[in-house]
Amino acid sequence: MSLICHQVSRSFNCRQKPPAKILENYMTSELSFDEWDEKHNPERAQDTDFDAVMSRRYFLKGATMLGVSAFVMTAGLSSKTAVAASKAGFQFKPIAAATTDTITLPEGFTSQVVVRWGDPLTSDGPEFDHATRGSAASQAIVAGDNNDGMDIFVVDGHTVLVINNEYTNRDITFGNRESKLPETDDDVNKGKMAHGLTIVELKEKNGQWEIVTNSPFNRRITPDTAFEVVGPVRGSNLIKTSSDSKGTRILGTFNNCGNGKTPWGTYLACEENFNGYFSSYQGENFKQTAEQKRYGIAKDGKDWGYKWAQTDARFDVSKEPNESHRHGWVVEVDPSGRRTPVKLTALGRFKHENAEVVISKNGHAVVYLGDDERGEFLYRFVSRDPYQPNGDNSTLLHNGDLFVAKFNDDGSGEWINLAEAGMATDETMIFARIAASKVGATTMDRPEWVAANPHKVEAYVALTNNKYRGERENQPLNMVNPRVKNPYGHIVRWTPEAEDHAADNFTWDMYVMAGNPLVHSDLMSGSGNINETNMFNSPDGLKFDAAGNLWIQTDGNYSNAKGFAGMGNNQMLMGDPETGAIHRFLVGPKECEITGLTWSPDRKTMFIGVQHPGEKGNSHWPEGGQAVPRSAVIAVRRTDGGLIG
């Protein structure tokens, strides 16, 4: 191989197969996406005050069990009831854990599949081909893969569903290749076009939901769609690239995880593991900057196996070092398609989970934001301008303050303004993690979705799990993350001072600590509202329904063995915010996670996301037989046609 070809090969631009070493990534691993991410997570910078860490640890050595018990006691009653009643008045018999390759629901409920990966949105779109699993051209115009957060909008009387398409699974997307990897440029672009958003009009006919083929609302937003940059980073030198010398226009959104819905009718999509798409032609000779290290960009010059730099040089960090600064944001999308989508830089750049929007007592928009990484933080944005109930709110999320949470061990907490980090404003937003460390925020056990109670001024965050808690110096035990090696996760709730989501102080308590009382009798058995009939692990999706029920979705260990014995497949449960009672409502098919939740306008259908069934090769859901497993949105209804949330 010539020297030039060798270099090009290392940058994935050569037709020859890249060296095997470069292929050690998520795509070649036998691990699930989350397991792989756990193994290769970025090293957090050691920027916490060491003395403070040690004194807190010393305090906790004597006080952990006693203090934690006191918090857990507040978590409410046992849920050992035969029938659960929701706040909307509907009752259901909680279901047992299951390991079948199906959707399991309580008696009196039915489900149907509505939108699957690869379903056509227009008459130009081909039906899904189980042999080839599509091409770059077909994937760009059909429903994307791995649906995650979603919401329903009524636009001019039409029911429009907006869906995040988070990522792809190598064995499934490229299962037509012997290597189970993207082998050609078209394969790479097929994977790329499976990312982004799917916008689709639905209609209900004889009790069944279906896609309105050729609706003018149907479209895809992909990693190549143009976005306008708004907020404090617009025009910053740190986001200028060879194709955008002004720093005002960014192509694409990808790895959209959870979402948000604004009171003014727009959709927020949250860019999560954006780092996994960047590589360097320099391979292992590539040296990360401190900022790239903190965000896990191109570790050892490698991406996670998506190979986008092979067909699009902007994903090569050595060629376009600022491109990675242009991702990791929350984007705002108009479901009608009339406005250009925007990147909301005032909400900070990190591994965004979801964006829960509430209007504060004094009328400002407050957005709660989790950064899903072990030892990262929980954030809050407060808009500069007030919300105009009947006015134009299209620029409301462009300006405001970004805060990060500090949870004190006595049950109090505060929001610290990132402006106190003393960094330039564009740097504060682009490197929000670094600013948050500087101001002394509390490291958390992977903040996933935040949900605010519509009937009470309080909010909840799912802290999904953390294998390093208590082990790494920068992730000490504390009262809000009280378990060493937390494999089960927990949900923390906070109440803002003076019933004002814009207030700088709050009090917090533990809503639930997940655990396994069949296997453990200590803190690992979970809080008082966990028993052998409702146990689960790794809470991820959280959403309140209009009636005030807290729905909990899981993305956890589905081995049903050892510490997870009796928990079965990933699931969805209903929590009562007042009593703490939790009841299992749905179990998903094999090797899926349940993520994404929204309701039809009449609240008689609940749309639920089933992501990555068969991520380890053991599902044929939803079609069965020998079909390729496909992520899908399902519709769940009561057989008597009543309200569901």
Contact code string over 499-538 relative to Ca ion, x by CB under 5 A: ----------------------------------------
Binding partner at 445 among ligand FEO, Ca ion, none, C-beta below 5 to 8 Å by kind: none
**Distance in angstroms (rounded) separating the CA atoms of residues 79 and 87:** 15
Degrees, nearest 5: CA angle 271-600-113: 75
Cβ-count burial 117-150 (b if 16+ within 10 Å, e if not): bbbbbeeebeebeeeebbbbebbbbbbbbbbbbb
Q: In whole angstroms, how close is the CB of 446 to ligand FEO at the nearest point?
A: 7
Q: In whole angstroms, how close is the CB of 26 to ligand FEO at the nearest point?
A: 13
Does 323 help bind Ca ion (rule: CB under 5 A)? no
Give the residue with the Cβ less far from ligand FEO, 310 or 465: 465
Give the residue with the Cβ less far from ligand FEO, 323 or 540: 540
Distances (CA, A) of 200 to 60, 115, 150, 153, 331: 51, 9, 11, 10, 18
Q: In whole angstroms, how close is the CB of 593 to Ca ion at the nearest point?
A: 6
Nearest-CA neighbor of 222 among 184, 248, 194?
194
From 119, 145, 244, 372, residue interacting with ligand FEO (rule: CB under 6 A): 372
Give the residue with the Cβ less far from Ca ion, 307 or 446: 446
Pairing state between β 412-417 and 378-386: unpaired
Q: In whole angstroms, how close is the CB of 151 to Ca ion at the nearest point?
A: 15
Give the residue with the Cβ less far from Ca ion, 320 or 555: 555
The number of residues that bind ligand FEO (CB under 6 A) is: 7
Give the residue with the Cβ less far from ligand FEO, 279 or 595: 595
Give the residue with the Cβ less far from ligand FEO, 165 or 173: 165
Does 272 help bind ligand FEO (rule: CB under 6 A)? yes
Written as six digits, the tokens of 106 are: 């309580």
Give the residue with the Cβ less far from ligand FEO, 272 or 545: 272
The answer for 39, left when phi > 0, alpha when psi is -120 to 50, beta otherwise, is alpha
Between residue 303 and residue 362, which ones bind ligand FEO under the rule CB under 6 A?
353
Q: In whole angstroms, how close is the CB of 107 to ligand FEO at the nearest point?
A: 31
Question: Do residues 526 and 602 touch, judged by C-beta distance below 8 A?
Answer: no
Q: In whole angstroms, how close is the CB of 39 to Ca ion at the nearest point?
A: 16
Where are the extended beta strands (E) located within 188-326? 196-205, 208-211, 219-221, 226-230, 249-251, 256-261, 267-271
Contact code string over 548-587 relative to Ca ion, x by CB under 5 A: -------x--------------------------------
Residue type at 522 in one-letter notation: D
What is the three-class DSSP state of 67? helix
**Distance in angstroms (rounded) separating the CA atoms of residues 459 and 370:** 12
Q: In whole angstroms, how close is the CB of 109 to Ca ion at the nearest point?
A: 24
Between residue 41 and residue 100, which ones bind ligand FEO under the rule CB under 6 A?
none
Contact code string over 256-285 relative to Ca ion, x by CB under 5 A: -x----------------------------
What is the three-class DSSP state of 494? strand
Cα atoms found within 13 Å of the Cα of residue 419, Cβ hemisphere only? 8
Q: In whole angstroms, how close is the CB of 503 to ligand FEO at the nearest point?
A: 27
Binding partner at 187 among ligand FEO, Ca ion, none, C-beta below 5 to 8 Å by kind: none
Counts of helices then strands in the chain (DSSP H, E)? 9, 32
Cα atoms found within 13 Å of the Cα of residue 319, Cβ hemisphere only? 16
Largest Cα separation within the chain, whole Å, is 72
Backbone phi, then psi, for 162, in 5-degree steps? -110, 130
Binding partner at 376 among ligand FEO, Ca ion, none, C-beta below 5 to 8 Å by kind: none
Q: In whole angstroms, how close is the CB of 353 to ligand FEO at the nearest point?
A: 5
What residues form DSSP beta bridges with 196?
165
Give the residue with the Cβ less far from Ca ion, 256 or 428: 256
Q: In whole angstroms, how close is the CB of 89 to ligand FEO at the nearest point?
A: 32
Does 540 help bind Ca ion (rule: CB under 5 A)? yes
Question: Do residues 554 and 527 touch, judged by C-beta distance below 8 A?
Answer: no
Taking the CA atoms of residue 607, residue 599, residue 219 and residue 395 in that order, the dihedral angle to the nearest 10 degrees is -140
Contact code string over 438-467 relative to ligand FEO, x by CB under 6 A: ----------x-------------------
Give the residue with the Cβ less far from ligand FEO, 320 or 448: 448
Binding partner at 371 among ligand FEO, Ca ion, none, C-beta below 5 to 8 Å by kind: none
Q: Which residues have C-beta within 8 Å of that of residue 80, sequence separation ≥ 6? A: 531, 533
| Residue given tokens 């039409």 in the structure block | 158
Residue type at 271 in one-letter notation: E
Q: In whole angstroms, how close is the CB of 547 to ligand FEO at the nearest point?
A: 26
Nearest-CA neighbor of 247 among 231, 225, 224?
231
Give the residue with the Cβ less far from ligand FEO, 217 or 558: 558
Between residue 540 and residue 559, which ones bind ligand FEO under the rule CB under 6 A?
540
**Distance in angstroms (rounded) separating the CA atoms of residues 188 and 190:** 5
Q: In whole angstroms, how close is the CB of 611 to Ca ion at the nearest point?
A: 7
Distances (CA, A) of 516 to 35, 217, 460, 522: 20, 46, 22, 10
Between residue 449 and residue 488, which ones bind Ca ion under the rule CB under 5 A?
none
Question: Do residues 561 and 577 touch, judged by C-beta distance below 8 A?
Answer: no
**Distance in angstroms (rounded) separating the CA atoms of residues 537 and 535:** 7
Binding partner at 272 among Ca ion, ligand FEO, none, C-beta below 5 to 8 Å by kind: ligand FEO
**Distance in angstroms (rounded) separating the CA atoms of residues 397 and 94:** 40
Q: In whole angstroms, how close is the CB of 357 to ligand FEO at the nearest point?
A: 18
Q: What share of the chain is helix, strand, coil (3-state, %, to 5)?
A: 20, 30, 50
Question: Do residues 41 and 374 touch, judged by C-beta distance below 8 A?
Answer: yes
The number of residues that bind Ca ion (CB under 5 A) is: 3
Give the residue with the Cβ less far from ligand FEO, 164 or 310: 164
Nearest-CA neighbor of 600 among 109, 110, 150, 152?
152
Give the residue with the Cβ less far from ligand FEO, 60 or 491: 491
Give the residue with the Cβ less far from ligand FEO, 166 or 316: 166
Q: In whole angstroms, how close is the CB of 261 to ligand FEO at the nearest point?
A: 18
Give the residue with the Cβ less far from ligand FEO, 332 or 540: 540
Q: In whole angstroms, how close is the CB of 297 to ligand FEO at the nearest point?
A: 18
Written as six digits, the tokens of 337 are: 């398609």
Give the residue with the Cβ less far from ligand FEO, 322 or 481: 481
Residue whose CB is nearest to Ca ion in the complex, by number: 555
**Binding residues vs ligand FEO (CB under 6 A):** 166, 257, 272, 353, 372, 448, 540
Point out which residues bind Ca ion (CB under 5 A).
257, 540, 555
